[in-house]
Amino acid sequence: MGNKYRIAAILLVVLFSACNEAAKKTAPVVKVEIPKVPEVKEIVEFGFKLNDYIVKRDTIKSGDSFGHILGRNNVGYSTIHNIVESAKNTFDIRSLQLGKPYTLLCAKDSLETPECFIYQPNLEDYVVIDFKDSIQTYADKKPINYIEKSATGVINSSISETLEEQGLSPRLAFKLADEIYAWTIDFRRLQKGDRFKVIYTDKYIDDSIYTGVHNIKAAYFEHNSEPFYAFAFETDAEKGIVDYFNEDAKNLRRAFLKAPVQFSRISSRYNLKRRIAVYGYKLRPHKGTDFAAPIGTPIMATANGTVTKSERRGGNGNYVKIRHNATYETQYLHMRKRNVRVGDYVKQGDVIGWVGMTGNTGGPHVCYRFWVNGKQVDPFKQKLPQAQSISDSLKIEYLEFIKPIKEQLDDIPFEVKPELIEEPERETVRQSSQNLIS
């Protein structure tokens, strides 16, 4: 009996092995893929690895203060006091402005304890108050990238419309019309078929935030078949003065802007014989020119110069006075807020304040006053000087400097709109196209 059991056991083992081999040959092979853990992208901003923190972003609300913001985020009063005392020599925490963004970097703990406060007064600048270990306060800027571009256009109705059709910034039209060609081309009287080329620089923050046209390197405008070149050139490196000159080194600018505000109207002219009903028609000379504009409109320096007064006084309200040279001075009254201090050097077009209603005024405007040799005069009756010409010592340098830029500008082809081609010329174009096709 023992042998029979042994034989049967051996047969079972052989049979099981055979079945197992058959199953291996017939059963499909199933591959199990282990899912990959997605790679976490490292995010760096303000010089910090944001992945290491719980990031809270918000804007300054009405009633907010530095202490209130930290207090409602579980920071004790004594700690807040120490931070404020340590930071005050670097940053005035009272200067937080309504609507400006801030970021809290918090620890990944149960309380989400703040370790760093970052305030952004504008898109480019930021202030860091780091209190993780010791307290450090410093200001910095986001990375800036400038990209050179070019554009061309043929005028059909206006330069703004031409740029808009190409998806280009309206700031480009403003710079061409108001900063470069304001004294040589009347952009209200452009002709159909006028055309332009421009080499300019766009500004980006963090490679992603587009902040608009930074500057124009060179331009060519053909108006009534007459060419107008313009090249940017720094004439004073110490003061950072950049002017636009043509191909013969002639300055395209005048010494003074026509008005200290844009898109305004003259509400009251210089008038030494003015009488006002409110004052019983008594003689009240008006020695300024009033430009009416909405509150908050930027007020610009009409020429380069040094600020000699920036204060609030009596009927003038908030005002700024600028000495331009030994002959000329200008003054700007009734500002809502001033943007310069005594001793500041300003360039033509710099914003020195904003239109308001401070002092004696019946409505929002800037009273623009003009002095020649210490006497107030009507600026519209003065034969104002041209802007300073390029010096002889710089002229040779300038002509060499613009050579490659002019070649670059001349090599940019114009894009001609079909609707601007005359009918006989269009027929020729059609025939040429047919010949190419055939």
pLDDT tens digits, one per residue of 207-264? 788 888 889 999 999 998 899 999 999 887 776 778 899 999 998 877 788 789 876 6
Fill in the DSSP letter of residue 117.
E
pLDDT in tens, 306-327: 999 999 999 899 999 999 988 9
* pLDDT for 430 beyond 80: no
Q: Please say if the pLDDT value at position 341 is more than 90.
A: yes
Buried b (16+ CB within 10 A) or exposed e, 397-433: ebbeebeebbeebeeeeeeeeeeeeeeeeeeeeeeee
Question: Which tokens go with 127?
Answer: 């202030």
Q: Residue 382: its pLDDT value, please?
A: 81
pLDDT at 280 over 80: no
- The span from the first CA to the last CA of the chain, in angstroms, equals 103
Residues 107-112 have a mean pLDDT of 90
Tell whether the model's pLDDT for residue 147 goes beyond 60.
yes
Provide the mean pLDDT of the chain: 83
| Across 380-406, average pLDDT | 86
Cα 132 from Cα 175, distance rounded (Å): 46
Place of tokens 């004790």: 76
Same fold, 44-141 and 143-254+388-432: yes
Higher pLDDT, 431 or 354: 354
Whole-number pLDDT of residue 274: 61
Compute the distance between CA of residue 391 and CA of residue 324 in angstroms, rounded to an integer.
19
Sequence letter at residue 233: F
Q: CA 103, CA 101: separation in Å to the nearest integer?
A: 7
**Structure confidence at residue 8 (pLDDT):** 60
- Burial of residue 73, with CB atoms counted within 10 A of its CB: 0-12 exposed, 13-18 middle, 19 or more buried: middle
Question: What DSSP designation does 374 have?
Answer: T
Give how far Cα 393 sits from Cα of 1, 82, 349, 390, 396, Å. Answer: 126, 57, 27, 8, 7
- Burial readout 3-27 (b: 16 or more C-beta within 10 A, e: otherwise): eeeeeeeeeeeeeeeeeeeeeeeee
Average confidence (pLDDT) over 288-303:
90
Provide the 3-class DSSP secondary structure of residue 411.
Answer: coil
Average pLDDT value for residue range 290-316? 92
pLDDT band at 424 (very low <50, low <70, confident <90, very high): very low
On the question of pLDDT at 21 being above 70, the answer is no
189 CB contacts (<8 Å, ≥6 apart)? none
Average pLDDT over residues 164-193: 82
Tokens of 380: 């519209």
Burial 200-232 (b: 16+ CB within 10 A, else e): bebbbbeeeeeeebbebbbbbbbbeeeebbbbb
* Residue ranges covered by each domain of the chain: 44-141, 143-254+388-432, 265-381
The residue-averaged pLDDT of 347-363 equals 90
Percent with pLDDT over 90 in the chain:
43
* Half-sphere CA count of 65, side-chain side, radius 13 A: 8
For residue 27, the SS3 value is: coil
- State how far the Cα of 280 lies from the Cα of 278, in Å rounded to an integer: 6
- pLDDT in the model for residue 395: 92
Q: Reply yes or no on whether the pLDDT at 175 is more than 90.
A: no
| pLDDT band per the 50, 70, 90 thresholds, residue 198 | very high
* 58 or 167, which is more confident: 58
Class of domain 265-381: mainly beta
Over residues 287-309, mean pLDDT: 91
According to the model, what pLDDT value does residue 254 have? 78
Q: Would you say the pTM of this structure is higher than 0.85? A: no
Bridge partners, 266 (sequence order):
291
**What is the C-alpha to C-alpha distance for residues 194 and 10, in angstroms, rounded to an integer?**
104
User: Would you state the pLDDT for residue 429?
Assistant: 36
Per-residue model confidence (pLDDT) at position 182: 77
Report the pLDDT averaged over residues 38-62.
Answer: 90
Q: How distant, in Å, are the alpha carbons of 38, 74, 352 from that of 266?
A: 64, 56, 20
d(CA 6, CA 11): 9
Report whether pLDDT(113) > 50: yes
What pLDDT, on the 0 to 100 scale, is given for residue 348?
85
Confidence at 409, pLDDT banded by 50, 70, 90: very high
Note the pLDDT of residue 23.
56
Q: Tokens representing 52?
A: 């290491």
Long-range contacts from 355-358, C-beta under 8 angstroms, 24+ separation: 355/261, 355/293, 355/294, 355/295, 355/296, 355/297, 355/298, 355/299, 356/295, 356/317, 356/318, 357/295, 357/317, 358/312, 358/317, 358/318, 358/334
The alpha-helical segments, DSSP class H, found in 283-422 are 392-410
pLDDT in tens, 158-174: 888 888 888 888 888 88
DSSP H/E element including 310: strand 305-313
The domain over range 143-254+388-432 is classified in CATH as 3.40.1360.10:
no
Q: What is the CATH topology of the domain spanning 44-141?
A: Nuclear Transport Factor 2; Chain: A, (3.10.450)
The answer to whether the CB of 194 falls within 8 A of the CB of 155 is yes
Interval 298-313 mean pLDDT: 93
Cα–Cα distances in angstroms (integers) from residue 210 to residues 64, 116, 202, 207, 222, in the given order: 29, 27, 8, 8, 30
